[in-house]
Structure 1
């Protein structure tokens, strides 16, 4: 493969690679996309419980950014108490093969846990 997705002399942000990174970068966006791909539809608190370490405010910000980038769909139901559900848009679903490739790469390339290495010694 001779081509590079970041040719020399071209700013990273001006490439397809840079654009993709701009949409999914950050500590939680790709995790949110993962959970929505696994569960199809989730509510805010379900996502928060699934992720665990994310604050309410950070999750809200990430969801707004993902919605603005047309990667997720926010569906609000007019009822009391308010009910809001999140799901992947078609554009968001197009990232699932990328997540699958990352998973496969990780399974093939993960290093043994440090305690496993010590046991082998």
Structure 2
């Protein structure tokens, strides 16, 4: 279940709805991150549902594994699914996430745009993010 502050937004939050939104063409890309080998079973099952659509050509999948800073025994597993023709968003998300420095409102807006949120939704989110 979503936290109350997310349930009270005046728009549909993508969290836990990625698959349906992508199948409906309403979300261009989904992004998941977990520690490799420590992924919760529910997340693995969710990824398998996406993978079925990759096999059918409905989605493109890209997966990356990178060492966790200061924890060399762990790997960070990032999985991206996009609609065909939207793969550029995966590259843009990876570049955005790799930028050094503090997360800012500008980066938050760009991240949300790449995930498929509309400008008015980003305006609303950013105006209340610190609240």
TM bin (shorter chain): 0.3 to 0.5
- How high is the TM-score relative to the length of structure 2? 0.31
Query: Which structure has greater helix proportion?
Result: 1
- How high is the TM-score relative to the length of structure 1? 0.34
Query: Which structure has greater strand proportion?
Result: 2
Give the number of the structure whose alpha-carbon radius of gyration is greater. 1
Q: Which has the higher contact order (CA 8 A, sep 6+)?
A: 2
